[in-house]
Structure 1
Amino acid sequence: MEPTTHSTESPIATNPTIFQGRVQFSGQAGEFFGIWIVNILLSILTLGIYSAWAKVRTYRYFYGNTQIDGHSFDYLATPIQILKGRILAVVVFVIYSLVVQLLPLIGLLFALGFLLAMPWIINQGLRFNMRMTRHRNVRFAFSGNYGDAFVNFVLLPIASVFTLYLLLPYALKRMDQYLHENISYGNKAINVNLKGETYYMATLITIGVAIAGLVIFGIFAGIGGVAMSVSDIDPNNINISTIIFPLLIMALYIAFLTMISAVYQSIIRNHIFNSSEFSDVTCFKSDLKAADYAILLFTNALAIIFSLGMAYPWAKIRRARLLAKATEVTIYSGALSIIDTAQQEQSSFAEEAANVFDIDISLT
């Protein structure tokens, strides 16, 4: 960690800096593996009921091992809260599945109703997650409204289809803007200033990387195809290349997917963090490098595949450690005056409904 500095002025804040340094993550793969394997076994034995406890244990482990200025995060949700929300969400999903099978027309109306409910699900899920997150004994909150969520998560994605997806980067920018600008820490709202041109630049760079990757992948696939065809012509000519090339092609395919993901995610993550601040409280800096992130995603994917999933805890810990290391936080003395504005307890139903219906909404 970089040394704590005192009483230095910042161009962003007019009050003294009380801390400047990297986020610290102290989780260990061995520790998390023990939690993870027990979570899986008990979830199977209880037919999924224990999954609520598994989620809370996992969140608390990662939150508790993530520190800023020596203070870790707290995850305050209880397993019973998660379980109640999960049961309700599963019941709704089962009803929807039965209706679709037995009464397709009503199922269509049900799907339309779900589309209209999706902004509410997103908002409530985020409210619950933020309300259950605490740092320095101050909770976070989310204040998004239905109208803005409907525009950003329903109307703009649909509109992007009719523009041959030329509007999609702008739609993604609006989604991220909405997700982050409605966060508050205690009584302090965050300021976020995302730029559409950064999203278009990230998209163009990602497309360029994808084209280059496809060319390389095509060349090696062609070489592998020739080698395989030679072996088919002469069965006695089977050699090590017939084994190596399929593995190489698979590795290249994984590398291709991870590089695309890493390039886009690193650019956007850096932009979001570097464009966000709690005025006179804290500002952020992210310098995640696409190459480092791509290597991590690639090696994580290979490890998970060849270990038949057993390397998942190791991969998750590595990712958390890299993202923490790439994040710098500056805290100003204004943080000492933050007030924890208690809100009415939120239900976890919407968050679990979002998971069941495959709406993956997460903060960068």
Structure 2
Amino acid sequence: MNTATSDTPPFDVPASPPPQQPTPEAFVFSGRGSEYFRIWIVNLLLSIITLGIYSAWAKVRRTRYFYDNTRVAGSSFEYHGNPIAILKGRIIAVVLIGGYQVAFRLSPKLGLLALALMFAVMPWLIWRSYQFKLFNSSYRGIRFGFKGSAGKSYFIYLLLPLISMLSIGLLSPFAYQRNKKYLHTESKFGATHFSFHASVGSFYQVFLICFAVAMLGYAAIGILFSGSLMAVTAAGKHAAPAAFAGPIFMMIFAMYAWTFLIMPLALTMVQNLIWNNTKLADHQFQSKLKWTRVAFIMITNLIAIVCTLGLFTPFAQIRSLKYRLESVSLLAAGSLDHFLADAEPQGSAAGEGMSDLLDFDLSL
């Protein structure tokens, strides 16, 4: 009896399902300049009237407005900061800074000692400030958090800046990469840590590109205005000294303007590099900021602020923040509901207050 042979298996083997494509969830910012202007002007007036005491409440109002109007995947963020805690932190910060000022007036040596003490305390304050800020931030009822450690903070915020200064800035990209890696990998949402994958080389590449573009622009400006200066020089003794003022002033103005245009280039490249290399578990972030758009917003904001004697400031902040936020998306690899809340230390309001007075931008 002939037995038929066949390559077909006796039963169907189900094909493996195709890998699930990430679902892009764009960040949406619904804040409006007219709404924020009312918050901004009231915060400003009350802070002036109360000699800065109301600034803690102003910070909470401002932050809550930004959080409430920032949404992703249909849900907004929440801020739970206590203005009394922030006020206590700012009082401590004022005492520390005021003590330094008094010490420096009494004796330069005593002032340097107080300054060294402030530098010694600053990394700890920054670390505690991050814990305070992220603990008081939540999404869908789950709090963010920041682990880190005092030792690592001293390495990031004290040792690395000193090394960068001693290297005449050559190690600045390395220090900046380590700073961002520390902030992102030690931050968490519930029990899930963020991760950061941008290499040191990628930061050097960004810095070198910005430096090269800046130098090319300065060289082009120098060549462009050299003809005018040579023409004035060729006139010799018949040229009045004031004739040099016009070309020199225009050249300096052009260099300042070009420097101002390099700022949005650096901002664009750094934001895209950081967020395109940040993940939360399997969820990937994506940033598509454009240099031309950032430059346009910055230039028009500056012109409007000058023309309105500063009253356009809240509108400028909304325009800038809206574009930066809405350029970011979360490529969700699955449901966002599987994160577990994790208890976090409340952090230090003193660190929060000190960071604000010293104009540190500690937001992620």
Structure 1 segment 75-224 matched on structure 2, within 5 A: 75-218=79-222
In 2: Cα distance, 1:67 partner to 1:8 partner: 30
| Shift, 1:42, TM fit | 1.1
Point out where structure 2 has 5 or more consecutive residues left out of the alignment. 1-16
In 1: Cα distance, 2:24 partner to 2:61 partner: 30
How many corresponding residue pairs? Answer: 342
In 2: Cα distance, 1:337 partner to 1:354 partner: 33
In 2: Cα distance, 1:265 partner to 1:223 partner: 34
Point out where structure 1 has 5 or more consecutive residues left out of the alignment. 1-6, 12-16, 236-241
Does 2:76 align with 1:72?
yes
| Shift, 1:38, TM fit | 1.1
In structure 2, the CA distance between the partners of 1:223 and 1:60, relative to structure 1 (3 Å rule), is: farther
Answer with 1 or 2: which has the greater Rg.
2
| Shift, 1:327, TM fit | 0.6
CA contact (8 A) 1:221 1:249 kept: no
Does 2:267 align with 1:268?
no
1:130 aligns to what SS in structure 2? helix
In structure 2, the CA distance between the partners of 1:80 and 1:225, relative to structure 1 (3 Å rule), is: farther
The one-letter amino acid paired with 2:153 is A
In 2: Cα distance, 1:227 partner to 1:80 partner: 66
166-175 vs 181-190, greater mean Cα deviation: 166-175
| Shift, 1:309, TM fit | 1.0
In 2: Cα distance, 1:48 partner to 1:132 partner: 22
In structure 2, the CA distance between the partners of 1:8 and 1:165, relative to structure 1 (3 Å rule), is: same
CA contact (8 A) 2:67 2:77 kept: yes
Does 2:2 align with 1:27?
no
Q: Which residue of 2 aligns with 1:362?
A: 362
| Shift, 1:314, TM fit | 1.1
In structure 2, the CA distance between the partners of 1:249 and 1:310, relative to structure 1 (3 Å rule), is: farther
Q: TM-score normalised to the size of structure 2?
A: 0.84
In 2: Cα distance, 1:197 partner to 1:161 partner: 19
RMSD over aligned CA atoms reads: 3.0
151-160 vs 52-61, greater mean Cα deviation: 151-160
1:336 aligns to what SS in structure 2? coil
In 2: Cα distance, 1:261 partner to 1:193 partner: 24
Does 2:336 align with 1:330?
no
105-114 vs 130-139, greater mean Cα deviation: 105-114
The one-letter amino acid paired with 1:68 is V
1:345 aligns to what SS in structure 2? coil
Q: Which residue of 2 aligns with 1:318?
A: 319
Q: Which residue of 2 aligns with 1:297?
A: 298
The one-letter amino acid paired with 2:86 is I
Q: Which residue of 1 aligns with 2:12?
A: none
1:171 aligns to what SS in structure 2? helix
In 2: Cα distance, 1:187 partner to 1:57 partner: 28
In structure 2, the CA distance between the partners of 1:34 and 1:216, relative to structure 1 (3 Å rule), is: farther
| Shift, 1:8, TM fit | 8.3
| Shift, 1:335, TM fit | 2.6
The one-letter amino acid paired with 1:276 is T
CA contact (8 A) 2:131 2:346 kept: no
Q: TM-score normalised to the size of structure 1?
A: 0.84
